[in-house]
A and B are shown apart, each in its own frame.
Chain A
């Protein structure tokens, strides 16, 4: 882990999961996204033993699997939702072959996976990682993506799943996501 990632992990540790009521966070960063992803995975999986749901739009599930195994992260359970990749579906990989503009399929799949994980382990800690908001905005306008996130995150709250959205500074959609998030953390 680089010094930069270690610093990011320190910031996350000081700012997230500070109250039991907290169920969502926006992480605003201008750092390399994969480094921030690693810090988030280390924080939730390594430090706090969370199970995870990862939306994979910019990189396939195999990338995150490798990232975790290379860094010694062995989560109890992680489910990947690959969108637009030619991955092989498996017990922990759902594949949505449609383009990332199809928010309905993505929303249904994330909700279903979250509920299934909750049914399997009613007391488990589960987080949802969305690091591909800007890509969703390439295919849909801001209002549509904002409504999608709002509906999805409300449902994830009901299922007691912690939502994490990674944002880049200065994006118009940030205001919407920050309002929906219980914590806003900046990693500069």
Chain B
């Protein structure tokens, strides 16, 4: 597991996690970041926002300073966590913009975690997905907000993640 020290001090970080216990480690990282930064926006690309909100709460994150963006769940499968502010959004770049920046511009979290970033490129042209990450990275630096981009270790060699590496300040691997 990555030590918290490695995630502090650089505004934009790419964190590569092993596929085994991927979510457990991602949530643990989120909890540690929330402890340090106070408020956190967690963006899930593959799991519905309400499910992730429930899982993050179960992993020990504080609900009142946690904001979650991600795809919508089917109504009948929706897990309810009304105490956590969730933004359900599509995965096209404009939808992610509305979902993520809706939370950032309203609640001003001190740190943002996005996982898994490679999934953004599955739903959008790679170049557009890379520019979206670039925009987020620039915006995070401008507003002194921490940004942790999470990918699976196996994705480190993909062209998209290699492109993303150009915009980050540090790459950390577990």
Contact = CB atoms under 8 A, between A and B. Distances in A.
Contact of B98 (A102, A104, A105, A115): A115
Interface residues of B, number: 15
Interface of B: 92-95, 97-98, 101-102, 105-106, 127-128, 131-132, 135
B128 A104 contact: yes
Given A151-B94, A155-B98, A108 B105 contact: no
Contacts, number: 44
B93 A108 contact: yes
B97 A111 contact: yes
B72 to A, nearest CB: 14
Interface of A: 102, 104-105, 107-108, 111-112, 115-116, 119, 151-152, 154-155, 158-159
Nearest to B124: A104
B101 A104 contact: no
Contact of A119 (B94, B105, B131): B105
Given A111-B94, A152-B94, A155-B94, A105 B102 contact: no
Contacts of B92: 151
Given A151-B92, A152-B94, A155-B94, A108 B102 contact: no
A105 B139 CA distance: 12
A108 B97 contact: yes
Nearest to B105: A116
Contacts of B105: 112, 115-116, 119
A22 B94 CA distance: 22
A158 B92 CA distance: 14
